[in-house]
Chain A
Amino acid sequence: MKQNPISFQLKLNPEDFLPATEEEKQSQIIMRESVSFWKDGMRRLLKNKVAMTSIVVIIIVMVFSFIVPAFYPYSYKWQMKGANNLGPMEYSEEEQERIAAGEKVFPHIFGTDKMGRDYAIRVMMGSRISLLVGLIATGIILIIGSAYGSIAAFFGGWVDLIMMRIVDIIYTIPDILLIVLLSFALKAPLGNLKNVPGFSWVGVVGENLISIFVVFALLYWVGMARMVRSQVLMLKESEYVTAARALGVGNGKIIKKHLLTNCIGTLIVTTTLQIPSSIFTESFLSFLGMGVAVPLPSLGSLASDAINGMNTYPYLLFIPAILISLIILSFNLLGDGLRDAFDPKLKN
């Protein structure tokens, strides 16, 4: 049938309506499951040898600092008589007598310090404290920073303007000066607080440690807040946010459910890179004598204590020093790996 060239009739081809052949059906089969955000990121992360090595190192350090001390025969505050300043794998006279009597004595792997405390367990406890400080401080920063940044970006306008000016001011305040001052100023009020019933835990944790957390909570969230703000500013124009708003979802829920979940990549990376910098600051403060309270060791205070005896017992200094560098290095490398895996745009 010949068709009029200027007809608007559809040009239908009867062949298009035949059942599909087997060959054509093949192309519709889903060969592989669709790759989700997590799977895609994990696949890239697992391929990254450097990042995997640093995860292994971090896990080993965590096992030694959180699990091994529970089984360890010595305690970090147990001062053994006559066992002062033993070298690695040495025994005190009393212990040698016990060995001679057929008893089994666990060796002091790293020796003992000048108070006769086993150094291996002190190093383990020290890295536990350093890791805890890093993780908790980062948690605080994550919560404050992401809440602040997303609120500023979401509401925009003058709210954003005022909130970001505050961030600018905190950002330029010289942090070290304020940290030193704050940790001095908070010592007394916290000392009084631990005598108030219900707040006795303050004494256990140590006033200095709490003031470190306060300092982090006050000063260090600004970087995180800026990061989250820039992400949310971009995301809040997306269609799904408009859709959620059209459906009558409240502001708080949009921020929590849609905006923050969608910048999870940035959050993970920034958080991981924040951990080493928190550990860094804690060790610095402990080194200056403003860190954890006395019987508790931290890697910084261990290194600081060992400086005086450096000539005779250099290993007391080098063990915590090397360990802290190793921990910071592993977290840094892991953060880089996570960034490449989950947030490739952030690179460079």
Chain B
Amino acid sequence: MGAELFSSKQMCRRLRTKTMFYQSEPDPSVPPSNDNSFWCTHSMNCMGPDGEVAEPKMCLPGRGCFESV
């Protein structure tokens, strides 16, 4: 799960994972996975400011602390 996921306008702009900062091109032969560590730049923690987990499936529109890109 890398930069391409975060280009989605649906993702909260406060969500981060290390792969966002990789300079390499994604390898299409490697299937995306969701085994990364994520954090929220609002709480600087793996939990968001609302106390729920920060991760791609959670940090979506509708969540109270969501901030659009």
Is chain B found bound to chain A in the same assembly?
no
